[in-house]
Amino acid sequence: MAFGRRIGALVDAALAFCAPCGAQAQVTTLDGDGETRMLLFSGRDLWRSGIFGHGGLLFAPGGVDQDGFNLKIVMSGGVYRYTGGANSGDPPGQLAGWNILGVENALQVMPGFRVKRGALEAKVFFGLDLEYHWLWPDDVTNHLRGRSLGLRFAGEIWYEPTPTSMVAADASLSSVGNHSARFAVGWRVFDRFYFGPETQVYGADGYRQYRIGAHFTALKTGATEWVAACGWGRESSGLSTPYARLGIVTRH
């Protein structure tokens, strides 16, 4: 059951993709004065028991490269499976041992603010978090079932300590009952992209998933920029799984 709670955590993963080092596809929109005021993004997350995707936009009236107000809207969804009563914190329930299919859809609307000082860029967001979780067969012991409305806080940091290195971190917490965090470092390779290790944690009431892997960020081929990551994860139930993320960035 608690594995089903991961869906909110994977929504957090989608939010993490919106950081500069995340797996995402972007379209840059320019106004008449040449200032970029909107980014459209999307990303994918795949592991043994599910697949999730997200898309959305970041709107900055003063320009995405300027300090000031930002508005982030993210839509996400996916399909996953879990075993009822698989975690020690779960009550036995009538579906213990059953394979349960879950489908998730979520929407976040979060005003925020961007600040950049030298090589450090930080963003914070706070707003509404609407999630809907459908389970088959219906697992009444799963807290994340049906419609949930709450508040979400998210923060992102991008730092370039040297011209050839980067550090990225992000975190997200929702009153619906899930959270996530990610930390990554990277170094420029052949002056074409950043490559390095990353670690992540996703969690909800009674569930955790820890990940460790490697990412490459900002690999450019013409007008397209590629971002990807892969590695290994372990769930609080004791199961291990590979994971992968992939995205593109296209600028017009």
Q: State how beta strands 146-159 and 120-136 pair.
A: antiparallel
Q: Which pLDDT does position 124 carry in this prediction?
A: 97
Looking at per-residue pLDDT, the higher value among 70 and 32 belongs to: 70
Cα-based torsion angle of the residue sequence 56, 57, 58, 59 in order, rounded to the nearest 10 degrees:
-150
Looking at per-residue pLDDT, the higher value among 178 and 13 belongs to: 178
What are 78's two structure tokens?
């996916």
Query: Where are the chain's structural domains?
Result: 2-250
Comparing C-alpha atoms, which of 3, 18, 20, 1 is closest to residue 172?
18
| Residue 33 reports pLDDT greater than 70 | no
Q: What angle do CA 92, 93, 97 make, to 5 degrees?
A: 70
- Are residues 18 and 24 in contact, defined by beta-carbon separation less than 8 angstroms? yes
Element housing 12 (H / E) = helix 6-17
Q: Which pLDDT does position 208 carry in this prediction?
A: 80
pLDDT level of residue 37 (50, 70, 90 thresholds): confident
| Residue 135 reports pLDDT greater than 70 | yes
Rounded CA separation 61/101 (Å):
41
pLDDT level of residue 166 (50, 70, 90 thresholds): very high
Q: Which pLDDT does position 174 carry in this prediction?
A: 93
Q: Which pLDDT does position 98 carry in this prediction?
A: 75
Q: Which pLDDT does position 12 carry in this prediction?
A: 41
Rounded CA separation 213/231 (Å):
4
Q: State how beta strands 165-174 and 27-30 pair.
A: unpaired
Cα-Cα end-to-end distance for the chain: 44
Rounded CA separation 168/15 (Å):
14
* Residues 6 or more apart whose Cβ sits within 8 Å of residue 134: 102, 103, 104, 145
Rounded CA separation 116/78 (Å):
34
pLDDT level of residue 163 (50, 70, 90 thresholds): very high
- CATH match for 2-250 among 3.40.50.1170, 2.60.120.510, 2.40.160.40, 3.40.50.150: 2.40.160.40
- Are residues 1 and 139 in contact, defined by beta-carbon separation less than 8 angstroms? yes
CA atoms within 13 A on the CB side of 63: 11
Tell whether pTM > 0.95: no
Strand partners, 29: 38
Rounded CA separation 199/217 (Å):
15
The count of other CB atoms within 10 Å of the CB of residue 37 is 18
Burial class (CB in 10 A: 0-12, 13-18, 19+), 26: buried
